[in-house]
């Protein structure tokens, strides 16, 4: 089988380092699974947003997981949509590929080109949470298969677009090392989580674009005064240095009393190693969102044995089990404050939930689990 995977962004810079982003991590894991499937003899990977020098590093990353007889080709387009469209048109005219997978529906608009080969589309979140254009609807209804990163995402997509077929759900994973096979035992699993020995820090990591300020930043900030009344030395760490909504959040912090504002810390842009260090130091991860398509960061927190605070009404409930591996709450400052206080003051509860979260990660959210799920729904396990 000759397979083309069209990704939005695989998140590798010109040096081969990761640019942290959940969508890119999902894309990298998907590419590596496809490379491991013996039924695919030729794998071509196109990434719209990655810069041209990144192609070499994407090839290197995928090769680690490739089966012995796989031929790999990688193209990066530096956001040149026209060039990608022309390349696909030529590939269709020459019947170069047997199957195509689109990481997002925006790229799947290309599936409207006549004589397009059979294709698969992923539903990944906010782009399908509103009525789709006619061409996007057509791309979905003509697809051979629709995959979704969560049941919640699929249900919400069909609420806005009732004509969409039911998708096959494939929950995501934490990705393996970039240029090496996974270790027999994930080193992060050996890091002890002893709540009483950690600083009373609550961590949130998330996109700060105004369009995406549904992750609970405001609620945590507005509830922090109540947290400090119960835990006077508690700190709220806000990770992430990009997004046009950051100034809004900083202004909101500035409106709080000085004693509260001094305990809310913007960490700025974080490298992968700095994110890991935050997970090692904090006591609780909190992101009480209302619009997550999946929420990979909750899986990362579970990997480090942290209890999480999430929202009740989006896909996070498929990752964080309420009162088992974390707390699911209404998205209000009061609810956020109460949940933070509970996990900052009750070490036994935090430990119980954190241990259960780590065990769930072990059993369900590692790369091999994602690989098994994806190969099964693609029906390529025995070919």
Residues 345 and 298 grouped into a single domain: yes
Residues 200 and 101 grouped into a single domain: no
Q: Quick one: how far is CA 17 from the chain centroid?
A: 18
Residues 211 and 283 grouped into a single domain: yes
What is the rounded CA–CA span in Å between residue 336 and residue 334?
5
Does 105 reside within a domain? yes
In terms of Cα–Cα distance, which of 113, 110, 111, 108 is closest to 124? 108
Residues 197 and 157 grouped into a single domain: no
292: left (phi over 0), alpha (psi -120 to 50) or beta: beta
Look up the domain containing 166 and give its range.
2-178+366-378
Does 383 reside within a domain? no
Residues 6+ apart with CB under 8 A from 144: 99, 118, 119, 120
Q: Measured over all CA atoms, what is the biggest interatomic distance in the chain, rounded to whole angstroms?
A: 68
pLDDT in tens, the chain (383 residues): 999 999 999 999 888 888 767 789 999 999 999 999 999 999 999 999 999 999 999 999 999 999 999 999 999 999 999 999 999 999 999 999 999 999 999 999 999 999 999 999 999 877 888 999 999 999 999 999 999 999 999 999 999 999 999 999 999 999 988 898 877 678 888 899 999 999 999 999 988 888 778 899 999 999 999 999 999 999 999 998 677 889 999 999 999 999 999 999 999 888 888 999 999 999 999 999 988 888 999 999 999 999 999 999 889 999 999 999 999 999 999 999 999 999 999 999 999 999 999 999 999 999 999 999 999 999 987 66
Does 319 reside within a domain? yes
Does 109 reside within a domain? yes
CATH of residue 192: 3.40.50.2000
Beta strand segments in 48-178, E? 71-76, 99-102, 119-123, 145-148, 168-169
Does 101 reside within a domain? yes
Does 147 reside within a domain? yes
Residues 82 and 158 grouped into a single domain: yes
Q: How many domains does the chain have?
A: 2
Residues 63 and 73 grouped into a single domain: yes
Residues 347 and 370 grouped into a single domain: no
What is the rounded CA–CA span in Å between residue 373 and residue 150?
12
Residues 129 and 215 grouped into a single domain: no
Residues 100 and 128 grouped into a single domain: yes
Residues 194 and 156 grouped into a single domain: no
Residues 93 and 140 grouped into a single domain: yes
Residues 205 and 270 grouped into a single domain: yes
pTM of the model: 0.90
């Amino acid at each position: 089988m000759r397979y083309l995977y069209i990704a939005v962004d695989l998140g590798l810079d010109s040096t081969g380092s990761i640019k942290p982003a959940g969508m890119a991590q999902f894309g990298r894991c998907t590419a590596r699974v496809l490379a491991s499937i013996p039924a695919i003899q030729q794998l071509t990977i196109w990434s719209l947003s990655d810069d041209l020098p990144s192609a070499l590093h994407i090839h290197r990353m995928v090769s680690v997981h490739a089966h012995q007889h796989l031929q790999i080709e990688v193209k990066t387009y530096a956001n040149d949509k026209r060039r990608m469209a022309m390349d696909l048109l030529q590939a269709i005219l020459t019947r170069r590929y047997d199957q195509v997978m689109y990481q997002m529906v925006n790229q799947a608009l290309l599936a409207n080109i006549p004589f397009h080969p059979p294709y698969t589309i992923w539903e990944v979140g906010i782009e399908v949470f509103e009525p789709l254009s006619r061409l996007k609807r057509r791309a979905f209804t003509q697809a051979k298969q629709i995959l979704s990163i969560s049941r919640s995402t699929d249900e919400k997509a069909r609420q806005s677009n009732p004509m969409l077929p039911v998708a096959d759900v494939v929950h995501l994973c934490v990705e393996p090392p970039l240029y090496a096979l996974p270790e027999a035992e994930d080193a992060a699993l050996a890091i002890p989580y002893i709540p009483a020995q950690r600083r009373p820090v609550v961590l949130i990591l998330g996109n700060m674009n105004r369009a995406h300020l549904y992750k609970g930043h405001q609620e945590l900030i507005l509830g922090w005064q109540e947290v400090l009344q119960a835990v006077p030395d508690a700190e709220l760490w806000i990770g992430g240095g990009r997004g046009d909504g950051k100034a809004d959040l900083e202004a909101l912090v500035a409106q709080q009393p000085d004693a509260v504002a001094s305990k809310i810390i913007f960490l700025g842009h974080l490298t992968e190693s700095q994110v890991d260090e935050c997970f090692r130091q904090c006591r609780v991860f909190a992101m009480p969102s209302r619009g997550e398509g999946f929420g990979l960061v909750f899986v990362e927190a579970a990997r480090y044995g942290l209890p999480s605070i999430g929202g009740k009404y989006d896909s996070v409930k498929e990752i964080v089990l309420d009162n088992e591996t974390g707390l699911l709450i209404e998205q209000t400052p009061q609810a956020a404050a109460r949940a933070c206080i509970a996990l900052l003051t009750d070490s036994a509860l935090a430990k119980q939930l954190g241990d259960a979260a780590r065990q769930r990660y072990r059993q369900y959210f590692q790369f091999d689990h994602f690989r098994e799920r994806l190969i099964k729904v693609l029906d390529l396990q025995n070919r």
